[in-house]
Structures are given as C-alpha cells and as structure tokens.
Amino acid sequence: MSAFVYGLGIGFSLILAIGAQNAFVLKQGLKQQYVFWVCFICALSDSILIYFGVTGFSKVIANFPFLLTVSKYFGAAFLFFYGLRNFYSAIKNSSSLNPSDIEKDSLLKIIGICLAFTWLNPHVYLDAIILIGSISVQFSDQLYQFAAGTILASWIFFFSVGYGAKMLLPLFKRATSWKILDVLIGITMWTIATMLII
C-alpha cells in the first residue's frame, strides 16, 4: 500500500469520530452560514497540525508536556461554555425555523469559534501531531506522500460534512429538530469537556 493511500486511510479513521469540531461544522452547514469559511479554516488548521506532526513537532510537545495541560483546561472551559450556549438555544427556540430565518453571526465570530475548536482541543494535538507524527516515521522515504494523503482526508471530510448537511434540511424545517440537534451538540461538548479534565 502506498504511503499516500495509507495516509488517506489514517486521516479518515481519526477524523470520523463525532467531536466538537465536527458537530460545529455540521450545524453551520445546516444553518448555511459561512459554510466555505468554516470548512476551509478547519481543514487548513488540521493541515498545519498534520504537517507539524510529520516534520517532527511531536518531539517539541513531548519535551514540553505542559502545553497539552494548558490546552486541556482552556479547551474544557471553551467546550463547557459552548455546550451551555447550545442548551440555552434549545430552550429558547420554539417556532418553526428555516436556515434563512436564523440570526446570522459575524464572520469574525465564526472564524474565532473555528480556530478555538481546533487549537484549544488537546485531542487534535494528540491525533494530528503525536499519533500521525509517530505513524509517519515508518514512511521516512515517503513522508510527504503520507502527509498529503492524511491532509486530503481532512479536506474531503470537512467539505463533505459542511455542504452535505443541506441534504438534511427538510428534517430541520421543524423547530423540534433544531432543539434535538442543540441538545445533542450540548451533550457532546460537555462529554468531551468532562473527559478532558478527569
């Protein structure tokens, strides 16, 4: 199996798990707000982390473990706040909601949230830098092919989720569906936050 194909498989296997970042991309896709920028920022951030991982940045993290500790607590606080926001949204919304009826956040705010979901999440460092970095060692003669495959998986995944979400729009014509989504996302955020600090 070529390093590129192996990297593609590793990339998909790591990113397919439902996490805070993926849930946010799905919700923005359903709201049809800044979908391109959300997908682009998430994929680009992952690409940067993967590149650092395969080029040896994992050694820096290994030498300075406090960076992961700091990220863990900041990430947990962010996820708790964002989960609370989703629970509040589930309680507040009561009418039938179309994506075009939803109040639009500013692009800068969405960019900030995207960056926080990636860079304040210790699991991203463990997956993209430590795990992928260690796997890449066996492809020392095809390092960049392996990295390219892993990075491509990230771009395919985020844009598929972001733009594929519109297929679920008929279901989300009802306010109840949005409430359920908000509650599920809130539970996801709080679960991940709890796992980070225990």
Q: Which domain holds residue 143?
A: 3-197
For residues 105 and 135, which has the higher predicted lDDT (pLDDT)?
105
pLDDT of residue 94: 58
Question: Mean of the pLDDT values across residues 110-127?
Answer: 85
Cα dist from 102 to 94, 159, 166, 170, whole Å: 12, 22, 15, 15
CA dist 122 and 172 (Å) reads 32
Other Cβ atoms less than 10 A from the Cβ of 16: the count is: 11
**pLDDT for 165-193, tens place per residue?**
988 888 877 778 888 888 988 898 898 78
% the chain with pLDDT above 70: 88
pLDDT of residue 57: 66
**pLDDT for 30-84, tens place per residue?**
888 999 999 999 999 999 999 988 887 656 666 777 776 776 787 788 889 888 9
**Which amino acid is present at 143?**
L
**Domain count for the chain:** 1
pLDDT at 147 over 60: yes
Query: Which range in 4-18, 40-54, 116-130 is most confidently predicted, on average pLDDT?
Result: 40-54
The H-assigned helical ranges of 55-106 are: 57-63, 66-92
CA dist 91 and 167 (Å) reads 25
For residues 65 and 101, which has the higher predicted lDDT (pLDDT)?
65
